[in-house]
Amino acid sequence: MPKTLDANFIRPLQEKNIKSQAMNQMNQFLILFSLLPVFAMSAFSQEEVDNRRSKSEQEMEGRKRERQAYQQGRYRVADPDNFKVEGGQVFSGPQSGEKLPRFRATSLFGENKGETFNPVSLADGRPQIIFFQTDSGVALRGLFGVGNVLGKINANSDRDIHLACIFLNDDPTSLLERLGGKAERSEGILTQLKNRGVDLLAISPEGRNGPGALGLNRNVAQTVLLAKNGHVTRNYVFNQGMLYPDPHFLGGLAELIGEDRETVATWLRVESQKEERSAMRGREDSQGSAKRALRRKLREFVQDGKISGEEARETYQAAFPEP
């Protein structure tokens, strides 16, 4: 056996080994290259999911801020052109600029209860807001907020607005049950809405689909039309109902009465501050009455020898601690 291999034998082996390594590297590169779209798509998909989640969280946070602002009497009056339906664009009813067709509705409440008529004619030249909605609890509670807003605006504007609510239910009985169960309670809720400025509370004889002439979308809980001179000025669709007055709806309302948004926002803020001051005075008056009543009773106990003056002071301080 030779101690070393012949060079002519070794060189071909080395060249073959180098070629084999080069081929392996090339194959690895091709495999990685072919997987790049998969990695990219996976990364893009995850980024898209994160973006969607982030957008959803931002929308929830935005709604939370709007709710807190409303509860504190701070209203934002936004450009109605920027209104977007949650979950994507949805069409329901006549759009801005289109004529508001005549339709029928049956009154649920008041002197005209049970009568059927055309709600559009009731506006009698006034700007009009018409709610078409299901018996959704969210949409129903939202009507109280809208009525409250209209009251604040009416205190500052000479433009009277006609507000109508048309319920879209196949069964009027189930609607009244939804409103309050017993007839007396449902009448009470309708009375409260009437007192909040809702001029008409009615139900569509055509049930859940609503008036055929309007082309309402039965898959949404609430469609709100703002109209003037027989034509729609704004159309708002709420999949779950408007629980708090939407800023873009308020912007459309300002437009409806011919006022700029900043002015209406100021009206709402000032009226809310007045309400808060009035409520504080009421709370103070109520507490003042309670204090006087307790002092009177403790004085009687002391005079009758039932308790000592010191015990009377301690009792009073326990009931009304000093701030």
Of the pLDDT bands very low, low, confident and very high (cuts 50, 70, 90), residue 265 is very high
Is residue 272 predicted with pLDDT exceeding 80? yes
Looking at the structure of the chain, the number of domains it has is 3
313/211 same-domain check: no
Residues 58 and 112 in one domain: no
DSSP 220: S
Which pLDDT tens digit goes with each residue over 29-78? 555 555 555 555 555 555 555 555 565 566 556 555 655 555 545 689 99
Q: CA–CA separation, 112 vs 105, rounded Å?
A: 11
Q: What is the pTM of this model?
A: 0.66
Q: Does some domain include residue 132?
A: yes
- Whether residue 196 sits in one domain with residue 281: no
Q: Do 242 and 93 share a structural domain?
A: yes
% of the chain with per-residue pLDDT over 90 = 39
With respect to residue 36, please indicate whether it lies within any of the assigned structural domains.
no
pLDDT value at residue 136:
82
For residue 278, pLDDT beyond 80: no
Q: Phi then psi for 62, rounded to 5 degrees?
A: -65, -45
Contact 250, 225 (CB under 8 A): no
Q: How far is CA 148 from CA 3, 98, 108, in A?
A: 106, 28, 21
Q: Per the domain annotation, does 184 fall within a domain?
A: yes
Residue partners of 145: CB distance under 8 A and separation at least 6? 70, 243, 244, 245
Together in a domain, 101 and 229:
yes
CB-count burial class (<10 Å; 0-12, 13-18, 19+) for 180: middle
Query: Do 171 and 243 share a domain, yes or no?
Result: yes
What CATH number has the domain bearing residue 82?
A: 3.40.30.10
Residue 288 included in any domain: yes
Among 88, 106, 84, CA closest to 175: 106
Pairing outcome for strands 222-228 and 128-133: antiparallel
Q: Which pLDDT belongs to residue 18?
A: 56
Summarised one tens digit per residue, pLDDT across range 212-237 is: 999 999 999 999 999 999 999 999 99
Q: Which domain holds residue 71?
A: 47-76
User: Which pLDDT belongs to residue 30?
Assistant: 54
Same domain, 200 and 70: no
Alpha carbon distance, N-terminus to C-terminus of the chain: 109
> Are residues 278 and 255 located together in one domain of the fold?
no
DSSP state of 6: -
Spatial separation of the C-alpha atoms in residues 137 and 132, rounded to whole Å = 14
Instruction: Evaluate whether 132 touches 214 at the Cβ level (below 8 Å).
Output: yes
Q: Out of 259, 282, 307, pick the residue that ends a domain.
A: 259
Structure confidence at residue 200 as a pLDDT band (50, 70, 90): very high
